A and B are shown apart, each in its own frame.
Chain A
C-alpha cells in the first residue's frame, strides 16, 4: 500500500511536532527555575496541540479509519517521519534551547508560508502554529543570547550545543519527490523560500550571543523517510508505553 504524498507530508509535520513536544515535556519538573518549567509545559502543549490537529487530518486524508491516537501510539520508529533534530536528547539547558532556536527559527516562517497553502486544513493549522512558533522563537533567542553572552561556562556550553546540533539543521530544507509534487500544486512549502528568513534570524541572534556558526556543510538526513537515530526508539518506548502494555485502554 503506497501512501499519498499529502498523507506523508502531513504525517511528517505531525511527527516532528509530537516528538519535539514530548522532548519538552521531559523537562517538566526538572527545569532550572519554575518559570522555565512552566515555559516547557506551555510550549510542549502548543506542539502536541499542533500534532493532534495534524494527525487527525492525516487520518482523514488516509481514509483508513486511523485517528490521532492510532497514528501517534501504534506506529513504530521506522514509520515515524520526524526531523532528526527534534529527537536529539535534551542534553543540558543550552542544548535544549539551541534545539528550540534552530527549530523555531525555521518553523515560524515555515508555518507563515504554510498558512497560505491551497490546502485549507493545513493552512488553518499553520495559521495558529505560526503565532505559537513566533514566541517559541523569542523565548529561545533570548536564552541563547543570555547564555552565549554570559559567563565563560555558559558560553562554552552554548557553543558546544550549536556545534552539536548544526548538522541536523540541513534536513529542514531538504525536498524529496513527495514534496516536490505538493510544492508545485501550491500545497506544500518550498523550504528554499523560507531559508533566507531562517539564516537571517540565526545570524542576528548568534552574533548578539557572541557564538560562531561552525563551518562545513555536513548534514545528517533520513528522519523524514523513517531512518532515525537510536534516540527515537527510547522516546517511543516511553510515549507509547500505555497503549503497548494495555492495547485500547481509554480513560
Chain B
C-alpha cells in the first residue's frame, strides 16, 4: 500500500472510519461508534489521538477496545495512535445510535428504551421482546452476562432475552 501524505483532515477521516469500525468485544454486532464509546479523533502534525469512554466504570472490555483501536488505526493510517480514556461526560445509553439499537434488536438483545432519566427507587422499564415484539415481558434479574445487560423473559413466546439497560 502506498501512503500519500494527506492533510490532517484526510488523516482524521481515515482514522475515524477505522476506529469507528472496531466492534465491541462483548456485543460484536455493535461498533464502538454505534455504542457512543468512540468520542473523538484528534489529529495534529500527523499524530493521532483517539478518545474513548467506558460504558461502566469496571467494563473489562476497555483494554481490548483500546488495543483493537490502536491496531485498526495503525492499519489504516500507518500511524500508531494514542488512545485516551475520558470519564466525563459520563456515558449514557442515549448516545447509542438508531442503527445500533436496530442491530441490537436484530441480534436478539432488547435495545435501551427511551432516554435515561433518574429513575425512582422502584419501578421497571417497559421492554418489548426482541424476538416476537410482545410487550408482555418480565424482568428476571437486573444483572446479566455483562455489566450493561439485564436478564428478561417474554411471557408470550416464552423466550428469555438480554435487555441493554438504560444508563
Contact = CB atoms under 8 A, between A and B. Distances in A.
Interface centre among A21, A120, A127 (most CB of B within 10 A): A127
Given A128-B91, A135-B142, A42 B167 contact: no
B87 A49 contact: no
Contacts of A36: 141
A47 interface: yes
Interface string B88-106: 1111000000000000000
Interface in B3-34: none
A128 B90 contact: yes
Nearest to A120: B88
B59 interface: yes
A45 B58 contact: yes
Interface of B: 54, 56-60, 86-91, 118-119, 121-122, 140-145, 147, 151, 165, 167
B155 to A, nearest CB: 18
A134 interface: yes
Contact of A124 (B87, B122, B147, B165): B87
27 contacts: A21-B58, A35-B141, A35-B151, A38-B144, A38-B151, A39-B141, A42-B147, A44-B58, A46-B58, A49-B56, A52-B57, A53-B57, A53-B87, A124-B86, A124-B88, A127-B88, A127-B89, A127-B90, A128-B91, A131-B90, A134-B118, A134-B119, A135-B142, A138-B119, A138-B142, A141-B122, A142-B122
A84 to B, nearest CB: 23
A41 B57 CA distance: 13
Contacts of B87: 53, 121, 124-125, 127-128
A161 B118 CA distance: 29
B7 to A, nearest CB: 33
Interface residues of A, number: 37
A139 interface: yes
Contacts of B140: 35
Given A39-B141, A120-B88, A134-B119, 13 more contacts: A21-B58, A35-B151, A38-B143, A43-B143, A45-B59, A45-B60, A53-B87, A125-B87, A128-B54, A132-B56, A135-B165, A138-B142, A141-B121
A168 B162 CA distance: 37
B88 A132 contact: no
Interface of A: 21, 35-36, 38-39, 41-50, 52-53, 120-121, 123-125, 127-129, 131-132, 134-135, 137-139, 141-142, 201, 204-205
Contacts of A142: 122
B141 A45 contact: no
Contacts of A52: 57-58
A127 to B, nearest CB: 4
A128 B88 CA distance: 8
Interface centre among B59, B60, B121, B122 (most CB of A within 10 A): B121
A49 B141 contact: no
A113 B119 CA distance: 17
Contacts of A50: 57-58
Contacts of B147: 42, 45-46
A39 B142 contact: yes
Contacts of A41: 143
B167 A131 contact: yes
A49 B59 contact: yes
A113 B153 CA distance: 36
Contacts of A53: 57, 87
